[in-house]
Every structure is written in C-alpha cells, then in structure tokens.
Structure 1
Amino acid sequence: MRLLLFLNLPLIVTSLSMAVGGGGKHLSADMRAKLKQVAQQMATPGKGLSACDEGPATIGGRFEAVGVTNSEETRRVYRQMLFTAEGCENYLSGAILDPETLYQKSDDGVLFPELLKSRGILPGVKPHLKIYELPGTNGDTVMQGLDSLAVRCKEYVAAGAVFAKWRSPLVIDVSKGCPTDLAIKANMQDLARYALICQSEGLVPIVEPDISLSGTHTLEVAIDVNIKVQAELYKAMIDHGVYMEGSTLKPNIVNPGKGCTESYTVEEIGEANIRVLRDVFPVAMPGANFLSGGQSLEDAAARLSAMNKVKGNSPWNLSFSWSQALQLPLLELCRGKGELCLEEMGKLYVKELEIAGMAARGEHEWKEGEGSHGVGKKAMVGV
C-alpha cells in the first residue's frame, strides 16, 4: 500500500494543486491586477469610504426631517459638498454613490466620478435594487437585482465607477430563530454571485453582510452569528471562483442588540470584532470598512479605534464606510433653516472625517462611556 501511494504521489499532488487553485481564473492577468490595485487603494491606512449611496427617497426623508425640500438639485449640491469639502481627500479612499449621483455633474460641469478621481478618491456605486421578504422565514429578507446586474455593471463602468457595494441585511431575533439557515445561505450565495459578476465586468465588489443592531441578543450571540454568516460568505465566494484579492468587506460592527440588558465595555466590543475576523476573514482580502448601522459617530469611532488598538499582527486594514454617523450631524445644522448650510456642513464633515481617520489608525481616544454598551447609556441614533 505504501509503495502504491508513493508511485501515485505525483498524480495526487497535481490533482491537489488543481483543486486548491485560487479564484478569478476566468479573468485576464491585467484585469486581476487592476482589481487588486483598486482593492488595495480602498484599503489605504487611515482612509475610509464615504457611504453616500442613499436613494432619493431615503436621503429625501432625512432632508424633510430637518425642513429641507427634497429635489434632485438639492441632492446634487449636497453630494457635491461631500466630494469637495476642503481636506476630505486626506481621509477618503473612496465614495459609494447612488446610481443617480453617478450621472450627476458638479457646478463646473464635471461628472462626479471624474471629480472624485481628480482628488484621489475612488468612485463606486450601489447596484442592488429592492429588498424582498423570504416566505416562511419569520421576516428574513434578500436583495433583488442580480438578473440585470451584468448589464448595469457595464453601464456603471462606462460612467466611471471602479467598485460596487451590495448590502445583504439580516436581523438577529433569537425568539423567531432569525436569521434562519435558509436566509443566511441565500444572502451569502447572492453576495458571491454579485461579486463574481462585478469582477467579470471590471468592478471591485464590496460584500456587505449587514446584521442589524436591533434585538436583545448578547455580545456572545452576536459573535456566534457573525462567524456563521461570514464563514458562509467566504465559502460561497470561493465556490463561485471570486478573486479574493480583488474584493473587500463591509461588515457591521459586532455589537450586542440595542435592547440587550447586559453591559459591555468598548474594549470588549473591539475584541469581539477582532475575534470574528481572526476566525474566518481571509488573509487574501486586503481590508474591511465597517458600516455604522445607526451608531453615533462617537460610538462608531470608539469601537473602530478599539479594534485597531487590539488587532495586533492581524494583516487587514480596518477602516470605516459610514453614512448616518457622518451625515446626520451635518443635516442637524440645517434644522429649521429651510435650506442646506453647505459651508458649515463642509467644515463639520472634514472634522468628522478626521476623527474617523484617527479611529482607522487606532489613534482616536474616546471619552468615558463612548463605544460601551450598558443600561442607562444614551440611546444610539435610530437605524
């Protein structure tokens, strides 16, 4: 038997090397190199992503909540402020755009993707469509839009986008058994298929498994669910042949549910996030840009900084991709004034980005209570 195994060793080794080959074999060497370069630029230390991809209705609701009229022109000049605020390029490696914004122009007539590129900021796009509730899962959902994705990706590339982001939202509800195994598998398969299509069309895919802050679950339950979800995601990506070096992650910050009655320090929350990444996050992927998910800037920055302080020799760049944490304070400047206060908003925005950039380097020092979870703590911003 030993002699037989020895004689067949070359065949066994050859078969094994074929079986464990990396993804992206359908891509040309030039395309793989471009995808990898963009993914690495997105993972520039100390820089993150501005998530300004809210659809017209979502951003319009935020405008109207502070007394600003929602219109395409209002949305255009608001996004222009986010792209041109003096110094924002020092803290941003990229900006995620709604398809509407992708085709809009600055006051000078320059398409926003070209404006961003001129400032060293990579333009990306949100390609997923509407959310759909999976029957028989007690409320679990999936995103729609895969069938038309390849055609739309071609259009987005032609418009100047270099990366994309697909969000798959999940909710932890222990009493309902959510997220169900079916929902986890369906969403992670969708993310993998989306990533494969994006890369085939020349876009770096950001995969976003977004587990909501809502619920009463403990931090320990959150760790277990996040590991399960992300493990399913990376297996699906590898099974689909996704080029891992040319993709990035946008995860939720691993937190206890907002209704959890147990207390946790910001250090414990930071360690929980590193625990999840060390268990399952592929070394091949260059970075993770955490979403804020309804957390205040103070909490999100404290938790991101805590992660970076304890990540040790973990190889990934851990940064931010925040929407509400950065934008809601800006909109509060306009409350009751009936219009966008663009100059004030731009100055505050850069100050916020400076905090985010320091958190991405593990240099942000939080105040007592910021980033912790406990009874009596000031409520987080609504999701």
Structure 2
Amino acid sequence: MDKNKKYGFDTTSIHAGGEDEKNPKNALNPPIFQTSTFVFNDTEHVRKVMSFESSDYVYTRGNNPTLRLFENRMAALEEGKASVAFASGMAAISSVLFSFLKPGNNVIINKTLYGSSYSVATQLLPKYNVNYKVVDLSNLDSLEKQIDESTKVIYFETPANPNLKIIDIKNVVEIAHSRGIKVVIDNTFATPYFQRPLTLGADVVVHSATKYISGHGDVVAGVAISKDEEYIHKLKFDYMCEFGGVMSPFNAWLLLRGLKTLGVRMREHERNAIKVAKFLSNHPNVKEVLYPGLESFQGHNIAKEQMDGFGAMISFEIKGELDDAKKVVDSVKLAQLAVSLGDCETLIELPAAMTHLGYPKEKLEEFGLTESMIRISVGIENVEDIIEDLDNALCNI
C-alpha cells in the first residue's frame, strides 16, 4: 500500500497500517503474535528499545505487532495520527478521562450517555475529587454557562445512547478550545465510516470496538484515537500500561478481520435501518421513533452536516405502558433480546432496565429516556424478515 496515496475507506480498512512490517512467510493475513514477551539480541538492543530509539517490542502489555497493526489501522480510518488499543470500551473511556483530569477539576458530560460512562463520571471520578456537570450539550448557551475555570474535559456521544441525540461537534469544539478544554467523543454508534470527529476538531475519539468494529459479537475491546502522537504515547505508557487494560493479540486479530468488512456492513446496516425506521414511524402502535435519518428527527440537519450516513441504531416509544414495551421485546422471534449492539444480528432491549440501569429511575426523563423506551440495533438480515418480526411483536400489545 502506497503510504503517500489517499485511498478510499474500504481499501484503508483492509490494507492500512501494515506498510512498515511485512507479514512473515508472505502470509496474506497478519499472524497472531500470541506471546507475552519478546527477546533481545543483546544489551544494546535492550537499551534502544527501552529508550524508544527502536520500535521493537518488549512485552505485550506495552505493545505487540498484532495490536500495533490494529492501532495503526484505526488511526488511519479515524484520520488521526495514532491510537491505543484497550481491553474494553470502558477501559478506553476511563483511561482517557483519567489522563486529562486531576483532583479539583470537573468534566462536563452530556445528559444522555451510556450507563457505565455515566457511572464513571458521576460515581467513580468524584471518589478522586474530580467533579462533574450534566449538561444538555445540544443547548450551546447552557454549555457556555456551565463552563468554569476548573472544567478540563467535555465528554459526549453523538449520536447519543439511547435516544440518538445529535450534538454539533464543531460548535462544541469551538467553545471548548476557546477555553483550553479538551473534547472527547464516543464514536461507537457512527463508526469512522459515518463520522470522523477528529476532522471536526475533537481531541480524542473513543470506541467500544466490541460493537461495529468487531461486528460479530465475539470480542470485548476498546480503542482511543488522536491526532496528538505525544498524547497517545502518554495514554499508552502512563495509563493503559499502568492500569493494565491491555487488549489480547487474539482480540486484535479478530478486530482486524472485522474491519475488513466494516464499510460493507455499515452500508447494509444503514439500508435496513432506514426501512425499519420508516416502518415504525407508520405503525399504529408506535408513538415516536428516534432515528437521525428521519427528516422529523430533531437533529436531522446537524447529522446531515457532520455525518456521511445515519447509522443503524433506532429507539422508539410505543403507544402503551412499560408492560406493553416488555411484551414487544418478549415477543420477537428473530431479533435477540440482549445488551450490546453492532452485531450482524438484530438486537433489541429496554435501555432503562439493561444498558442504562445505573440511571436513577426518577430522573430518566431528565436524562432523555424513559422506562418504556425500546432500542434496536438493526442487523444485516433480510430487512423484510426484521420488519415482519417487529410487526408481529407490536401487534401483541
């Protein structure tokens, strides 16, 4: 692959990141370097590697050829300079937040956030005297009013989990950078195929690579990407290595396999999701559909500006109560009742009872969700089968 040429997304997802190291024995696919430790030629080799004069390896907790290839490829896809692979999405998120924050600081988080991310900000960080503020980041005036001299990070998802709220990345970045504040964005729902926050000014992008990056429900992993190579070096060796949230070489290899079809899968996911969203919008038993690809969706125009597509996550409210919502998710036959998302299979859940269980029930509406909200990760099965399955379930209420 020519390092000086800009290739398309699908080409990059298959080839990028391996230009400097040829696969052993001319293998088409990169091998899994399933080793904890690497050996040295002599003590001078040790010195060069330990002082970073050489890019050779010491110990897989610090780096490994399989992990490095995955990191390089993710950096290329997000149009960053470097990245750090983690054992999980939450390892990536918590490590990045700890890397920017110290006692006395505060972090601003969007009012709608994945349950474990919300718990890190509101329960874990305060134990280390790091404060937080919950803000509706779609209201830029409110954001500006909440910033103070102790604010060091603004962290959010867009689209947000689970209500798909769209945050204007450029405007948030402009406000943040004018005050010397870092912007960290979870890009899990969109993937780099549909959105690249670093090109819009974000400082760090994080992913739960468990989701679309893997795409097959067989990996737990995370990754953080930035255009600041010095920061990534610090994140890797001062935080990932010391906290120990290292990704296994086998998982890195599975993720590299998943990346090869990321573009193909995302196109199919979105094609299905648009049809499912339109079906739900016209169903007599559905009250509201939350999907950025619908023109009626509040953040549709911003999504069109900063995204190349709308993804495959849909949330909706039925015309009924919580018991009726439970009947819907209990009645599907094709869709699977499960947490997580981004797999080839269609997954369905009740966020308030599952992925967002950490939110206090009395404040759900304040945070942009309800007990009866249903979330779907639209898979790549035949869309007619997905729609028929949902229709049969909705007709049970």
- Whether TM-score is above 0.5 comes out as no
Query: What TM-score comes out, normalization by structure 2 length?
Result: 0.28
Bigger relative CO (Cα 8 Å, ≥ 6 apart): 1
